[in-house]
Amino acid sequence: MRRRFITADVFTDQPFGGNPLAVLPDARGLTSDQMQILAREFNLSETVFVLPPDDPTHTNRLRIFVPKHEIPFAGHPTIGTAIILAGLGGFDATGEQVGIVFEMNAGLVPVTIRFSDGKPINATLTAPKRPEVGEAPTREQMATLLSLSTDDVLATGAASSGNPFLLVKVKDRAALARSRINLAVLDQIDDLFAKEPLVFTEDAANGFDYQARMFAPLSGIPEDPATGSAAAALAGWLGVHDTMENGTLRRVIAQGIEMGRPSRLEIEINKQDGDVADVRVTGSAILISEGSIEEPPA
């Protein structure tokens, strides 16, 4: 038996930019082991398996796999799957936008899909969890992990809005470009909030607030060209540390530049009475390929 798949490039409106994604729009009957085998075969940052929702008032249930294991939530699979399903005619496109709800292991993820001339152009997700801020690693730890000098590292943090990340702010784009994961150091770290660092620097060029890189070698992803869940974690961390009491902070992140896959991620942080009410991530996606793949043995 063969299964239909569609691929898209996410957090871009240009083919062969952004972050590639594989989606199986009907994964009914597949076991977890079969899903993992297929994700390893595609060998992309993530592969999504679309299932009927557990609650019929929701839109779909999504299971998301990286090459080595399943993860509870991710941004580029959420955005990409929403736009792919919309492109297949799965949602009413008579208006300018439609709201859907995906079930994920991390919780419910509301998504707003926007249309132009009946075609999906971008989508905004609301992270499934309010930000959780963990204990920040030291500048020295992150400098060693990223093969940088301590002077290169300006600040560190740890946060999750559904998926945990280390956050490392470096002084400039040169330090960002020099960042390299030291796997020997990574193997020795066992007391940190997470093991996947989002490295970023302030960058006002080309309309961006930050330029970033994300490394996840323990998940089979040496470097990721666009990471929506890391952007959501950064949004939560920024919101917690911002002194604004009420209102919305908006930032734009460039990622994937060093990989030749430029990506654009837009984040929003909504604050009420000094607390972060929710964080949102917006991006585009473009369909790239469609085909079928052999179903692994059960």
* Catalytic positions, written as ranges: 46
Query: E strand or H helix at 175, and its extent?
Result: helix 173-178
**Sign of dihedral through CA atoms 32, 38, 39, 40?**
positive
Residue that the structure tokens 């898209």 belong to: 8
Distance CA 208, CA 231 (A): 13
Q: Which of 129, 191, 186 is nearest to 160 (CA)?
A: 129
Distance CA 39, CA 33 (A): 10
Q: What angle do CA 23, 28, 31 make, to 5 degrees?
A: 90
Q: What angle do CA 74, 77, 81 make, to 5 degrees?
A: 140
